[in-house]
Amino acid sequence: MRRPSSFVFHTAVRVLVLGHGADTPSTRTRILQYLPHFERDRIEVDRVELPPGILGRWKAFGKCREADVVLHQKRLLPAWQFRALRRRAKKLVYDFDDPMVYARDEGRVRRSSTREKRFREILSLADAVVVHSGSEELAREYGARNVHVVPTPIDPGRWRMKESWASPRLTLGWAGTAAHVENLREIAPALAGRRVRIVADRPCPIPGADVEFVPWTLEGEPEAVRSFDVGLAPLPDDPWSRWKMPYKILTYFASGVPVVASRRGAVESVLGDGHNGLLAGDWAECFRRLEDPALRERLGRSGRATVERGFTVEVCYARLKAVLTSLV
């Protein structure tokens, strides 16, 4: 019988999380935010960063026997290592938030046969597969049988909402790494003459735009995003962008910032055109529409409501806990 998500264990359940380090965005957002909730619900979590060497990995795999559930996050190990992990784990859950079958090299996206083989192996071995919004079809295509959507959560307390949508001149904002600034250059004609605030790890010039650079920091990111009048989420038409849900859209939503985004499959799983954002065909026309502060406020408030309904840490944690408790 499946336990309700509100169930609290009287005897501690042990979960082993295997994956990347604490400074990795997926670990920080999809694991670390949940730790206080696990502790509250008497679920003991041991998080282990998988080392590169096989001896270190063998030692990490040895911890599997002490856990009720192993949550392996994202990393694509050689198939024989996955099989060794499977033999030691009582129950195995695989979590991913990127289209794992693709490799990215200097802006180019290509399907990798090695990654495909490893991805298919872990999906076939896992008792359950946890995915971000929009990736369910990809998981099933590669053999996952028991698929659960657990979005990457947002902490509304950290991402506070704007208090005013009035502005004498629009500030179009984008947050990301400089490696992805080419996405902005693809819409450069629509940005010409506009003020663009870029929050990134290094300056990113956009020809024709009035660019203001804000150095990215983890602590300063929420305030920087909240200063945007319009949040930009342009994406290239490639397989990576079609499968991956851009987390930045959720941060814009939580901040009450109206969003203009490319029409891509995963994006449309959370953004309804005219409801909580705009899906761009004509970017310049979207910007003209958003000169209206009443429209900006309506979309911004709707975006915030979207996060509060389905993307808070508490909501997403309840979904993940339900997956884990169903296996114990």
305 and 193 in a common domain:
yes
- Are 239 and 111 contacting, i.e. CB atoms less than 8 angstroms apart? yes
Examine residue 39 and state whether it is found in any structural domain, yes or no.
Answer: yes
Same-domain pairing of 122 and 177: no
- Whether residue 274 is contained in a domain is answered as yes
Are 231 and 298 within one domain? yes
Q: Could you report the per-residue pLDDT of 236-278, keeping only the tens digit for each?
A: 888 888 888 778 999 999 999 999 999 987 898 899 999 999 9
- Specify the pTM: 0.90
**Tally of domains within the chain:** 2
Sheet architecture: strand order including 147-149: 43-49, 13-19, 69-73, 92-96, 128-131, 147-149
Task: Indicate the helix (H) or strand (E) that contains 155.
Answer: none
* 212 phi and psi angles, rounded to 5 deg: -115, 125
First-to-last CA distance in the chain?
A: 11
Q: What string of DSSP letters covers 84-133?
A: HHHHH-SSEEEEE-S-TTEEEETTEEEE-HHHHHHHHHHHHH-SEEEE-T
CATH code of the domain covering residue 245: 3.40.50.2000
Q: Specify whether 279 is located in the same domain as 317.
A: no
Q: Is residue 3 in a domain?
A: no
Rounded distance, CA 107 to CA 227, Å? 29
Which of these, 157, 274, 167, 152, lies nearest to 230 by C-alpha position? Answer: 167
- One domain, residues 295 and 323: no
Same-domain pairing of 36 and 145: yes
Residues 202 and 213 occupy one common structural domain: yes
Residues 83 and 110 in one domain: yes
Verify that 258 and 320 share a domain, yes or no: no
User: How many percent of the chain have pLDDT more than 70?
Assistant: 96
Q: What is the pLDDT of residue 11?
A: 60
Answer yes or no: do 107 and 226 share one domain: no
Instruction: Give the tens place of pLDDT for each residue, 144-199.
Output: 999 999 999 999 999 999 999 999 999 999 998 877 888 898 899 999 999 999 99
CB 313 within 8 A of CB 154: yes
Q: Is 97 exposed, middle or buried (0-12, 13-18, 19+ CB in 10 A)?
A: buried
237 and 118 in a single domain? The answer is no
Residue at 1 is within a domain:
no
Quote the domain boundaries for residue 89: 13-153+312-327
Give the model confidence (pLDDT) of 310-325 as tens digits. 999 999 999 999 999 9
| DSSP-assigned beta bridge partners for residue 214 | 199
46 in a structural domain: yes
Say yes or no: 260 and 323 in one domain.
Answer: no
Q: Does 45 fall in a domain? A: yes
2 lies in a domain? no
